[in-house]
Structure 1
């Protein structure tokens, strides 16, 4: 059933995306060392990888490929300090914005690049430490530190940040907490006036032009889930409001994660009737950022009433074989991971006039479940529940920890829970 729905609906999307795919076929990513330029997004340069001896030249090449770039996103363990300073100087001269996305890291030499941004924001991890060296050349080390201080002063770097940097041993890494990011003013909007440059003396420390790298592991965020009840929504920026480069990147959707057999239940803004899933997705996009997700009911037997539900959030995830859902993702959001969910499919796992005697989790019916839908969701939410029986005449919901032999039960509804894993069937670019 799910495979049939997936094939049919993905066919609709394939038709809608033919024109976009034809244009994109001639537009491939250009790679310059650790830098990537996407020709469909000329405002953005991505740093993803180690900063090596050729990175400054590669960044110049990336700038030539994207002369109108406004934003550089950062994900690097660090690397060559002198190259980091040269790249930072180019960013400062061109007044580019810098951003560390969620689940990304910007350590050591990468931190100089981040601090150079006219506008800058940390959603991932920013880490600093002393430069390191195996060489006894103290004069060279002092000169390297002098270069770092001179450059950081030009970037209006707070003195506290410099102190943290020079106090952290080269074999360690200080990752700034959210409290420190706020306290030290590490996030900066393009409208913030520059502060008076900080001037400090060169500390007595040794080092050269190579940075120590520290590997770290970050855990993915838990998947967001959702439902079908209406909710209020905070107003976003007006259509006339001009977004900064970072706001554009973090707020505007640039991808859509497509799921088959998954209902994003609740948090509806509106419900409408449309011809197909593609039209449902388009209706969501036209809401100027208010609509974050949608669910389309693919059941061909439903010929009247709404079949497209537009949502203020991803709501609550619920398995439903006739549901086709999409979640819009901004550039700041990683691709969603696979997640496992206990489901009682309304199409295939509910049985009318069936009783499941025995195996009750409680001596009393569930207090708040007063409808078959409430009962189904109550069982889904209870980890111990593997099935339920709802008695319509009494409006009683009985959650089951064990399944007895099914029997005829007039005006009863029973359902069985299964575990299912969900991952996007497709992640489509909106560029």
Structure 2
């Protein structure tokens, strides 16, 4: 039975990959220097690689290809300062959100782009240092520093970040820890104050913090949520779409990048939909179509198409339950690690249930389970109880008896019993959706 299941599962995985290939066949990745635009996700532009002499123009070309882009996703070791500042200014003027995904880095000139975001979040590494130049021209260096200070103050950059930047040698890199990201208010959301206008910042670029005129200086408080309604809150009350960039950022972070497939495993509960589909690939597509509402699914390979529901869409993985005729999948986002192996107790409904059998003795309690009123509920109650090794369900009385041992089996009409075994579960495969 298990060998047949494995063969069927391989066929289902193949069909899934084919289905995904068809879905993305019409899609295309357009590249402009280090920038790329996915035609299926035109709300985001990705930066991967060095910021060179052609990058500012390449970014303008990417914006032309994705005129409605609201987010720039960053992964770069940096590059030319002036190019980074030009790109950052475009990001700031367009009020785009910026994101450093987990596992990515944004160093040196890339940090200017990140700090330009009207909404910004650093799940990955943000690194800063002094500028460097091969030309020993003091005047040019001073002008570059002046440009950086002016631009970063317009972006509402915390003074602490500027201080660290200019104190870190050019041949070194200061990478902010997650605690420092929170401490210095590096991330910014829709509820944070809108940075001051460029003219206000230019009046005193070193000591005046962005924000209302009566706000504390940046040396004592970095930009953060205000106690009273902030300008952005007032704007949001007039324009419901004012905070839409944050939702774009969060939506991008939640998008699935991988699919972990499990064989012989059922994700019990957490259903958000039940469908009859042709195969596991179609089940996965149904889950994807529900967006963030669906994060996992279970497909029953025993139920033939047209014979009833066989695709169960889940809000989360739920309770892991062994079932030799089940194939399950869990969608993973950029911030989710690959699932590691885990051990579970299982009572396989296909191979470990015994009809018309009573297991006498070894009851865990003098009373039947108070909530399990069906054989399936009784089985799952035993699976969830670490002290339970077997169960007997009495159909006539709707009684569920959990047991600490297998007990003495005997023939008994109308009873269903099951015995628990332990197994180690790990993904059969992890499919890259990108």
Shorter-chain-normalised TM-score: which range? 0.5 to 0.7
Structure 2 residue 338 is the aligned partner of structure 1 residue 337: yes
**Aligned residue for 1:374?**
381
SS of residue matched to 1:156:
coil
**Aligned residue for 1:234?**
none
Query: Residues of 1 paired with 2:80 and 2:64: CA distance?
Result: 25
The 1:254/1:398 distance shift into structure 2, 3 A limit, reads closer
Structure 2 residue 248 is the aligned partner of structure 1 residue 248: yes
Q: How does 1:339-358 map to 2 (within 5 A)?
A: 339-343=340-344, 344=346, 346=348, 350=352, 352=354
The 1:37/1:303 distance shift into structure 2, 3 A limit, reads closer
Structure 2 residue 85 is the aligned partner of structure 1 residue 85: yes
**Aligned residue for 1:107?**
107
Name which one, 1 or 2, has greater alpha-carbon Rg: 2
Question: CA shift at 1:317, angstroms?
Answer: 3.9
C-alpha RMSD of matched pairs (Å):
4.6
Query: Residues of 1 paired with 2:367 and 2:286: CA distance?
Result: 42
**Aligned residue for 1:57?**
54
Structure 2 residue 53 is the aligned partner of structure 1 residue 46: no
Q: How does 1:232-243 map to 2 (within 5 A)?
A: none
SS of residue matched to 1:337:
coil
Please say if residues 89 and 116 of structure 1, whose CA atoms lie closer than 8 Å, have aligned partners that are also in contact: yes
Please say if residues 128 and 165 of structure 1, whose CA atoms lie closer than 8 Å, have aligned partners that are also in contact: yes
Query: Residues of 2 paired with 1:364 and 1:59: CA distance?
Result: 75
The 1:309/1:321 distance shift into structure 2, 3 A limit, reads same
Query: Residues of 2 paired with 1:258 and 1:299: CA distance?
Result: 21
Question: CA shift at 1:422, angstroms?
Answer: 0.9
Please say if residues 365 and 397 of structure 1, whose CA atoms lie closer than 8 Å, have aligned partners that are also in contact: no
The 1:42/1:388 distance shift into structure 2, 3 A limit, reads same
Query: Residues of 2 paired with 1:301 and 1:86: CA distance?
Result: 58
Please say if residues 296 and 315 of structure 2, whose CA atoms lie closer than 8 Å, have aligned partners that are also in contact: yes
The 1:61/1:310 distance shift into structure 2, 3 A limit, reads same
The 1:372/1:318 distance shift into structure 2, 3 A limit, reads closer
**Aligned residue for 2:217?**
none
**Aligned residue for 1:187?**
188
Q: Deviations over 1:20-61 (max 9, x none)?
A: 35424xx345362x4333344344321223x35xx2413422
Query: Residues of 2 paired with 1:144 and 1:296: CA distance?
Result: 59
The 1:294/1:109 distance shift into structure 2, 3 A limit, reads same
Query: Residues of 2 paired with 1:30 and 1:244: CA distance?
Result: 26
Please say if residues 267 and 318 of structure 2, whose CA atoms lie closer than 8 Å, have aligned partners that are also in contact: yes
The 1:5/1:246 distance shift into structure 2, 3 A limit, reads farther
Question: CA shift at 1:279, angstroms?
Answer: 4.8
The 1:90/1:375 distance shift into structure 2, 3 A limit, reads same
Q: How does 1:319-338 map to 2 (within 5 A)?
A: 319-328=322-331, 333-334=334-335, 337-338=338-339
Query: Residues of 2 paired with 1:282 and 1:122: CA distance?
Result: 30
Unaligned runs of 5+ in 2: 208-239, 373-377
TM-score (norm 2): 0.66
Q: How does 1:135-150 map to 2 (within 5 A)?
A: 141-150=141-150
**Aligned residue for 2:176?**
175
Question: CA shift at 1:298, angstroms?
Answer: 2.0
Please say if residues 265 and 318 of structure 1, whose CA atoms lie closer than 8 Å, have aligned partners that are also in contact: yes
Question: CA shift at 1:114, angstroms?
Answer: 0.5
SS of residue matched to 1:417:
strand
TM-score (norm 1): 0.67
Query: Residues of 1 paired with 2:368 and 2:76: CA distance?
Result: 52
What is the number of residues matched between the two proteins?
Answer: 372
**Aligned residue for 1:223?**
none
The 1:324/1:48 distance shift into structure 2, 3 A limit, reads same
**Aligned residue for 1:23?**
26
Query: Residues of 1 paired with 2:347 and 2:242: CA distance?
Result: 44
**Aligned residue for 2:229?**
none
Structure with bigger helix share is: 2
Question: CA shift at 1:376, angstroms?
Answer: 2.3
Structure 2 residue 166 is the aligned partner of structure 1 residue 166: yes
The 1:415/1:349 distance shift into structure 2, 3 A limit, reads farther
Deviation larger for 131-140 or 119-128: 131-140
**Aligned residue for 2:211?**
none
Question: CA shift at 1:181, angstroms?
Answer: 3.9
Query: Residues of 1 paired with 2:275 and 2:135: CA distance?
Result: 69
Please say if residues 118 and 190 of structure 1, whose CA atoms lie closer than 8 Å, have aligned partners that are also in contact: no
**Aligned residue for 2:418?**
413
The 1:314/1:390 distance shift into structure 2, 3 A limit, reads closer
SS of residue matched to 1:3:
helix
